[in-house]
Amino acid sequence: MDEQKNGSSEKDAQRSIFHHEGENLPSHGHHDEETLKEDVVRLYWRANLRLLGGLLVIWFVVSFGFSILFVDALNQYSLFGFKLGFWWAQQGSIYVFVALIFVYVVQMKRIERRFGVDDD
C-alpha cells in the first residue's frame, strides 16, 4: 500500500515537470508528445544509472575491498569462527551479490512503473 502511494506521488511530481516544460511550447501537437516521451526516457535512464552506480559501488567494496585489498586488516577480527576478511572472500561477498541483484530487480520495477516504461 505504502509503496503504491509513494509511486503515485512521484508520478505526480513527474507530471508537473512535464507540465512546466510544456508551458514553453506553443501547442500540444505530435512533436510535443515526442519530446515528452524522450524526456521520460531520459529521466528513466538517469534514475537507472544512479541505481546501477550505487549497487556497483557496493559490489566493488565487498569483493575487491573487503575480500582482497583490506583482507589482512579485516583478518584481525573474527566472526563466527572465521577470520573476517577470509569470511568476506569465501562466503560474505556471495551473499551480498545475491542481495544486490534482488535489490536491483525490485528497485528497477519501481522506477519503471514510475516512468511508465515497465513491461507488464
Binding site for another protein (CB under 8 A): 41, 44-45, 48, 52, 55-56, 59, 63-64, 67-69, 71, 75, 79-83, 86-87, 89-91, 93-95, 97-98, 100-102, 104-105, 108-109, 112, 117-120
Q: Which is nearer to another protein, 10 or 43 (CB)?
A: 43
Other beta carbons less than 10 A from residue 52's beta carbon: 14
SS3 of 82, please?
Answer: strand
- The DSSP output letter for 25 is S
Grid coordinates of 3: 509503496
SS3 of 75, please?
Answer: coil
Q: Which is nearer to another protein, 23 or 72 (CB)?
A: 72
Q: Which is nearer to another protein, 23 or 119 (CB)?
A: 119
